[in-house]
Chains A and B, each alone.
Chain A
């Protein structure tokens, strides 16, 4: 937890160096700087502390800070790599990098697998898929009979679960997604290609401490 010396002036946590972040991700330095503009506006929307908390994330996605959603929670948890309860700039850039159209498929496959593995057991279980399906139906105000839900789950698992043990492991997922690339559509944000025009970066400001290398 960063300590904040509140003596009238705002103290932000140290932001990671854009050059370092660019080298770790599919983004260029100017794209990282553009992302910083976006990050600044999201992270200051509720509490101006240089970090994105759950409410600020929900506000950015749903335009409603109080809206709870299973899937947004999963995305938040995936971005919050160190499980601190907030997303820092490094988390933000590295996670968004996976959504870049040019990011390697392996990264997208890996991210989506972990996303759907709700309890992080290393397997996507039938119960988890059912839970997500029910959440989607509830979110869309649609109802399906229990029977239809089971049919959908049967079909999904008969295709994806190669050894039919009721669980989809990493290899199963890789195979399945390679055969059905449309399943990875959710893992690409075309907007990331034009990020420098959407968020023109200004001179990277002095709030950033030079990270000693």
Chain B
């Protein structure tokens, strides 16, 4: 039962345009988001480890903080069991293959309170992912 095997097929490899479209310069959604903008962390990092390593790291993390895990294709979703300020905190990680041996992982808040998410990122997520990061995780810089 290869549940933690996420075979990244050649056909699923991202091409340059997929990568380019990750730019926040293309993302016009800030025009429409609520006025009171909470600084939302979006973690993006690259890794040369296989997707299965990324997934098992996330699963281990989930276990240690008692979050549930749901996997589908190239996504992993972690959800807290307790309701926080704005419901259960849920996080989604999406794994992109830039080349078969070079992955980019994007982690976003899927539901729940942004402040709780930011805390989770700095206290739990970043430390857990530190040793598989190929580069230091890029943060969306908070504006001055």
Contact B25 A139 (CB under 8 A): yes
CA distance A139 to B141 in the complex (A): 10
Contact A153 B30 (CB under 8 A): no
User: Is A24 an interface residue when CB atoms closer than 8 A count as contact?
Assistant: no
Given contacts A141-B135, A142-B138, contact A42 B30 (CB under 8 A): no
CA distance A190 to B108 in the complex (A): 18
Residues from chain A with Cβ under 8 Å of B25 in the complex: 61, 69-75, 139
Chain A facing B: main interface SS: helix
Chain A's closest residue to B28 (CB) is A189
What is the interface size of chain A, counting residues whose CB is below 8 A from a CB of the partner? 48
Most chain A beta-carbon neighbours within 10 Å: one of B23, B45, B98, B102: B23
What is the interface size of chain B, counting residues whose CB is below 8 A from a CB of the partner? 34
Chain A's closest residue to B144 (CB) is A64
Q: How far is the CB of B108 from chain A (nearest CB, A)?
A: 14
Contact with A along B112-144 (1 / 0, CB 8 A): 000000000000000000000001101000011
Contact A183 B99 (CB under 8 A): no
User: Is A144 an interface residue when CB atoms closer than 8 A count as contact?
Assistant: yes
User: Is B65 an interface residue when CB atoms closer than 8 A count as contact?
Assistant: no
Contact B30 A140 (CB under 8 A): no
Contact B16 A69 (CB under 8 A): no
Most chain B beta-carbon neighbours within 10 Å: one of A60, A183, A186: A186
Contact of A155 among B15, B22, B138, B144 (CB under 8 A): B15
Residues from chain B with Cβ under 8 Å of A132 in the complex: 16, 20
What are 23 A-B interface contacts by the 8 Å CB criterion? A61-B27, A64-B143, A69-B23, A70-B23, A73-B25, A129-B20, A130-B16, A132-B16, A141-B135, A142-B46, A142-B104, A142-B138, A148-B98, A152-B99, A153-B16, A155-B13, A156-B15, A156-B17, A160-B15, A160-B17, A183-B18, A186-B27, A191-B31
